[in-house]
Amino acid sequence: MERLLVLVRHGQSEWNLKNLFTGWKDPDLTEKGVAEAIAAGRKLKDLGMSFDIAFTSDLGRAQRTLKLILEELGQTDLKTIRDQKLNERDYGDLTGLNKDDAREKFGEEQVHIWRRSFDVPPPGGESLKMTAERVLPYYDSEILPRVLKGEKTLVVAHGNSLRALIMQLENLSPEEILKRELGTGAPIIYRLNEDGSVKSVEDLAA
């Protein structure tokens, strides 16, 4: 029995393009982001993939990416579960700020700590550790059991909510996961063992 889990970060958003901290705000995809989502769907189709269920966040850029992928796969009626537990990390007071402006306001070293430490949150926001504390229980209770039953599962979410998942799947340290870059619209294909550990991984951005 195949235990298939595919993770996709949403395509480029308007705020990605403008170098803004996005978090729980809800900008749309850029034209490039739309093209990335369509390309992700085509890559999966070319591999002969289809899915039994999809999960996405409560944010439109992830939902639209999923919709475009499913259109390419001819699976527009696929059962889809949306949950804010898969939302991007909340950047709190940094939300909406240009990353260069944030460095001027708070200092380069402080912004670097907020962005690249595992457990230091920005003011009013979440650290990656806090993001993981909502993502991982949801994965363990809602997503993993379906994968282990043989349901081919697609998850379209965000850079940091997916980092939290990848950290657990690949047994990465906090330092290792912070260095992990996730391409927008690039599927990562996991095949799991019976116990939920990773049997194989293929990153289609590579």
* Structure-derived torsion over alpha carbons of residues 51, 140, 205, 173, reported in degrees to the nearest 10: -170
Residue 180 has a pLDDT of 87
State the CB neighbour count (10 A cutoff) for residue 28. Answer: 12
Count CA within 13 A, CB hemisphere, residue 168: 19
Q: How far apart are CA 197 and CA 125, in angstroms?
A: 31
* Catalytic annotation, residues: 10, 88
CATH homologous superfamily for the domain 8-149+159-203: Phosphoglycerate mutase-like (3.40.50.1240)
Burial zone of 156 (CB within 10 Å; 0-12 exposed, 13-18 middle, 19+ buried): buried
- Give just the sign of the alpha carbon dihedral 117, 96, 18, 67: positive
Summarised one tens digit per residue, pLDDT across range 45-89 is 999 999 999 999 999 999 999 999 999 999 999 999 999 999 999
Which pTM was predicted? 0.96
Whether residue 26 contacts residue 61, with contact meaning beta carbons closer than 8 Å, is answered with yes
Query: What was the pLDDT predicted at 179?
Result: 85
Helices first, then strands: H and E counts in the chain: 9, 6
Instruction: Report in angstroms the alpha-carbon separations of 173 from 66, 119, 122, 164.
Output: 29, 12, 21, 11
- Tokens coding 74: 């001819």
DSSP state of 189: E
pLDDT, one tens digit per residue, over 125-158 is: 999 999 999 999 999 999 999 999 999 999 999 9
Average pLDDT, whole number, for the chain?
Answer: 95
Q: pLDDT at position 116, please?
A: 85
* Domain spans, the chain: 8-149+159-203
User: How much is the average pLDDT of 179-206?
Assistant: 93
pLDDT over threshold 70, residue 206: no
